[in-house]
């Protein structure tokens, strides 16, 4: 009989574990405290972002994850996975200099980097008709549709008789004994398995808090927005030059020559990331709050700033903002790329993928499968 895995958490980390565990021949029960997952994995850009990853283990993990994303996306087209690539736009000479340096790095080829002039960028994406100098294209970057991703993967999983989805099950207790690992909810229902993976995202509290004492993880809050549909199509995901300040791939390049960020962008640790959804709307962001307690409000000024950046790059008014939301992710602050802690034989807590959690989720799940073999 196949070994049984209990997965706690219906976000992308838990769901990629379910996909890979079924593939490995385990039977899988996945529980989720909400009726449908509503956390970071639903609220993100859906980016599978290789371009900004630090050379070394982070880039290797991201490239492996990108391969698995391609396989999963081919099997489950309803995820909206597409190898659309990205363009990081330089609006001044200092940003262009950093892009040129990035394009000359030894790892540029593995990321699928190429440098484009303004004319080449405009030819590729006619909507980019504004005031900028050039762009760094990354063909390894990809995107999925966060609104459909988890439900599409669950529908795929449910077609396998060895998979069971248990929503509305908030794990409140965990025990390990000679018969295996057991997770119990508030109603006293217990799910048992040979193996248990807790993928709670940024829910570091509750009964799981004992596993997070002194753990090198923090929570980060982001504010996001979506515009009304844009009639024109934008194939690539876009980033502005401010993203160069935050992504570790660029940390050793000429960042000190970049002009200061506008005050609102600096205060909110902002960059522009933009991806067009399949319905034509643009998901745009983001801000970062690193210190708790977080604010509870969605603020106006950061998105006035982002709209002005979009207008400058497009050479026309940015589409109006139609919706706003925020989200919180869990981020490893230690030397590890994410947080993995064995809490009993065959039981592990995994979170802390940070702003790259969606990107690296399948590779994290694969590392678990390798440990179980
Ligand atoms: C606004 C925003 C934008 C982002 N953009 C990107 C991006 O474009 N690309 C990228 O790579 N990453 C991005 N990230 C990061 C990425 O979204 C996260 O790292 C990733 O989604 C985390 O997945 P997860 O499964 O660990 O957590 P979550 O998505 O938070 O899922 C955890 C799930 O566990 C459930 N749960 C928690 N406790 C229990 C319990 N006790 N019992 C049962 N269920 C429980 C929760 O209800 C939740 O559904 C972004 C994050 C945010 C917030």
Phi, psi of 67 (to 5 degrees): -60, -45
> How far apart (Å, rounded) are the C-alpha atoms in residues 54 and 218?
20
CA of 39 to the centre of ligand 1 (A): 5
Would you state the structure tokens that stand for residue 39, as one six-digit string? 């956390």
Residue nearest to atom 18 of ligand 1 (CA): 357
Contact 110, 151 (CB under 8 A): no
Of 357, 360, 362, 368, the one to substitute when testing ligand 1's pocket (max ligand atoms within 8 A of C-beta) is 357
Atom of ligand 1 nearest to the CA of 9: 34
Residue nearest to atom 13 of ligand 1 (CA): 355
Hey, how many other C-beta atoms are within 10 angstroms of the C-beta on 178? Answer: 4
Q: What is the pLDDT of residue 313?
A: 98
Q: What is the pLDDT of residue 225?
A: 98
Atom of ligand 1 nearest to the CA of 350: 26
Of 6, 7, 11, 289, the one to substitute when testing ligand 1's pocket (max ligand atoms within 8 A of C-beta) is 11
Q: What is the pLDDT of residue 307?
A: 98
> How far apart (Å, rounded) are the C-alpha atoms in residues 217 and 145?
27
Q: What is the pLDDT of residue 91?
A: 98
In the predicted model, residues of the chain with pLDDT beneath 50 are none
> How far apart (Å, rounded) are the C-alpha atoms in residues 70 and 336?
25
* pTM, entire model: 0.98
Of 38, 174, 200, 324, the one to substitute when testing ligand 1's pocket (max ligand atoms within 8 A of C-beta) is 200
CA of 102 to the centre of ligand 1 (A): 30
Ligand 1 shell residues, CB under 6 Å: 8-14, 31-34, 37, 39-41, 43-47, 49, 170-171, 199-203, 206, 222, 224, 327-329, 351, 353-359
Question: By C-alpha distance, which of 2, 13, 109, 119 is closest to 59?
Answer: 109
Phi, psi of 155 (to 5 degrees): -60, -40
Region of residue 56 (left: phi > 0; alpha: psi -120 to 50; beta: else): left
Helices (H), 76-143: 93-103, 108-111, 118-124
Residues 6+ apart with CB under 8 A from 161: none
Question: By C-alpha distance, which of 173, 205, 202 is closest to 189?
Answer: 173
Residue nearest to atom 38 of ligand 1 (CA): 200
- Domains of the chain and any CATH numbers: 4-44+148-215+335-372 (3.50.50.60), 86-139+217-332 (3.30.9.10)
Torsion angle of the four alpha carbons 143, 37, 362, 290, in this order, in degrees rounded to the nearest 10:
80
Contact 80, 148 (CB under 8 A): yes
Residue nearest to atom 25 of ligand 1 (CA): 11
- Residue identified by tokens 């040129």 is 100
CA of 329 to the centre of ligand 1 (A): 6
Q: What is the pLDDT of residue 1?
A: 76
CA of 275 to the centre of ligand 1 (A): 19
- In sequence order, what are the beta bridge partners of 101? none
> How far apart (Å, rounded) are the C-alpha atoms in residues 32 and 9?
5
Residues 6+ apart with CB under 8 A from 38: none
> How far apart (Å, rounded) are the C-alpha atoms in residues 244 and 230?
26
Instruction: Give, in degrees to the nearest 5, the angle at Cα 48 between 151 and 242.
Output: 130
Residues 6+ apart with CB under 8 A from 323: 225, 226
Residue pLDDT, tens place only, 180-232: 999 999 999 999 999 999 999 999 999 999 999 999 999 999 999 999 999 99
> How far apart (Å, rounded) are the C-alpha atoms in residues 133 and 26?
52
CA of 310 to the centre of ligand 1 (A): 27
158's enclosing H/E stretch is helix 146-158
Atom of ligand 1 nearest to the CA of 202: 30
């Amino acid at each position: 009989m196949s070994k049984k895995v209990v997965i706690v958490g219906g976000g992308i980390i838990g769901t990629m574990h379910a996909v890979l565990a079924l593939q490995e021949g385990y039977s899988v029960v996945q529980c989720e405290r909400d009726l449908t997952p509503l956390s970071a994995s639903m609220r993100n850009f859906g980016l599978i972002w290789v371009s900004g990853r630090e050379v070394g283990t982070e880039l290797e993990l991201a490239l492996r994850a990108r391969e698995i994303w391609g396989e999963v996306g081919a099997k489950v087209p309803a995820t909206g996975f597409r190898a659309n690539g990205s363009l990081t736009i330089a609006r001044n000479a200092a940003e262009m200099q950093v892009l040129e340096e990035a394009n000359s790095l030894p790892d540029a080829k593995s990321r699928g980097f190429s440098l484009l002039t303004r004319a080449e960028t405009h030819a590729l994406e006619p909507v980019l008709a504004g005031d900028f100098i050039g762009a760094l294209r990354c063909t390894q970057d990809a995107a999925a549709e966060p609104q459909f991703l988890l439900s599409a993967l669950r529908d795929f999983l449910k077609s396998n008789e060895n998979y069971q989805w248990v929503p509305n099950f908030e794990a409140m207790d965990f025990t390990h004994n000679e018969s295996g690992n057991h997770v119990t909810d508030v109603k006293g229902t217990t799910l048992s398995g040979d193996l248990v993976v807790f993928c709670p995202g940024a829910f570091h509290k509750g009964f799981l808090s004992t596993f997070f004492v002194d753990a090198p993880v923090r929570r980060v809050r982001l504010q996001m927005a979506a515009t009304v549909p844009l009639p024109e199509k934008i194939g690539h995901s876009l980033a502005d030059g401010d993203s160069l300040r935050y992504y570790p791939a660029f940390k050793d390049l000429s960042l000190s020559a970049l002009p200061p960020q506008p005050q609102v962008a600096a205060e909110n640790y902002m960059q522009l990331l933009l991806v067009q959804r399949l319905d034509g709307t643009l998901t745009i962001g983001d801000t970062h709050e690193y210190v708790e307690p977080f604010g509870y409000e969605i603020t106006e000024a950061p998105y006035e700033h982002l709209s002005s950046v979009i207008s400058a790059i497009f050479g026309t008014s940015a589409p109006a903002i139609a919706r706003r939301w925020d989200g919180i992710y869990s981020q490893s602050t230690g030397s590890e790329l994410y947080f993995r802690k064995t809490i009993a034989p065959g039981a592990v807590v995994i979170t802390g993928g940070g702003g790259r959690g969606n990107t690296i989720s399948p590779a994290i799940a694969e590392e678990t499968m390798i440990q179980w073999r």
